[in-house]
């Protein structure tokens, strides 16, 4: 009788240990999933820290890109990557400047400081405030019939700057707009417009980002 009771206790102990193992496995599995969701975010964007401001003071670049040359800027962000086909045909000076800034690493570790839902996402300011620049400016007046359609990448300027003046700040149009033809065009999003749209949803009515959206790096590819 005593031997039978001992066997029952042994069987119960085995089942208890097995149950504990199963529960731990489930908890650990849920913990992994939770960490993944927390790092990626429900909106598909990684949660990142806001970078420190950068001091940039460059001289205007020499023209190294040829008119009509196929040049692509690959923009890697904390929300994914998108590509810009630089407009070397209609805006060779602006395209050349954008490529130069990318190759100099100016755009790396900057943020989209302005996100206006249904309008634009704007970045490229080394200070991250909307007031910074690269230390130089260029002028390339856009054509009078220019339309800023969805996916257009153009250069920001102040209200007092003449049409076509630009430095490092750029914006991507997230919906067809009626902007006047005063902003130099750098190019057009050729791939990854879904990423641009994702970023565009992270803005407030005050055009402020709900969370930090980091431009990790911008690289230039030439055919």
**Based on the domain organization, do 147 and 202 belong to the same domain?**
yes
Instruction: Answer whether residue 52 is part of any domain.
Output: no
Mean pLDDT of 55-79: 97
- Stretch 189-210: mean pLDDT: 97
CA distance 204 to 5: 69
The verdict on 86 and 140 lying in the same domain is yes
Residues 173 and 105 in one domain: yes
Q: Is residue 214 within 8 Å of residue 128, measured between CB atoms?
A: no
Number of structural domains (the chain) is: 2
- CA–CA separation, 212 vs 98, rounded Å? 23
> Which residue in this structure is represented by tokens 């149950």?
19
Is 152 within 8 Å of 188 (Cβ atoms)? yes
38-51 tens-digit pLDDT: 345 557 899 999 99
CA-to-CA distance for 153 and 184, rounded, in angstroms? 9
Element (H, E) at 17: helix 2-40
Residues 33 and 122 in one domain: no
The answer on 173 and 96 residing in a single domain is yes
Per DSSP, the residues of 54-119 read -----PPPP--SPTT--EEEEEEEBTEEEEEEE-TTT-HHHHHHHHHHHHTTTTTTEE--EEETTT
pLDDT for the residue numbered 7:
58
Asked if residue 89 and residue 190 are part of one domain, the reply reads: yes
Q: Which domain holds residue 19?
A: 1-40
Are both 96 and 182 inside the same structural domain?
A: yes
Domain assignment present for 60: no
Residue 161 counted as domain residue: yes
Asked if residue 215 lies in contact with residue 48, where contact means CB atoms within 8 angstroms, the answer is no
Distance CA 186, CA 102 (A): 12
Q: Coil, strand, or helix at residue 3? A: helix
- Is 46 part of a structural domain of the chain? no
Contact 91, 185 (CB under 8 A): yes
CA distance 169 to 108: 13
Confidence at 36, pLDDT banded by 50, 70, 90: very low
CATH number at residue 82: 2.40.100.10
- Encode pLDDT of 144-186 as tens digits: 999 999 999 999 999 999 999 999 999 999 999 899 999 999 9
More confident residue, 18 or 27: 18
């Amino acid at each position: 009788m005593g031997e039978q009771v001992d066997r029952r206790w042994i069987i119960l102990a085995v089942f208890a240990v097995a149950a504990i193992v199963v529960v731990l496995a489930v908890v650990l599995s849920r913990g992994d999933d939770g960490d993944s969701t927390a790092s990626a975010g429900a909106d598909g964007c990684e949660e990142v820290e806001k970078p420190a401001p950068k001091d940039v003071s460059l001289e205007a670049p020499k023209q190294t890109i040829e008119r009509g040359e196929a040049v692509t800027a690959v923009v890697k962000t904390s929300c994914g990557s998108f590509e810009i086909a630089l407009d070397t045909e209609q805006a060779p000076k602006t395209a050349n400047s954008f490529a130069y800034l990318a190759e100099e690493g100016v755009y790396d570790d900057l943020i989209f400081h302005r996100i206006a839902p249904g309008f634009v996402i704007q970045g490229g300011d080394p200070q991250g405030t909307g007031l910074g620049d690269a230390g130089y400016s260029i002028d390339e007046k856009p054509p009078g019939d220019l339309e800023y359609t969805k996916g257009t990448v153009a250069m920001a300027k102040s209200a007092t700057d003449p049409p076509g003046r630009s430095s490092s700040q750029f914006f991507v149009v997230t919906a067809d707009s009626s902007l006047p033809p005063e902003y130099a065009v750098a190019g057009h999003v050729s791939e990854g417009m879904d990423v641009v749209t994702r970023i565009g949803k992270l803005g407030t009515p005050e055009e402020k980002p709900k969370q930090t959206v980091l431009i990790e790096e911008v690289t230039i590819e030439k055919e």
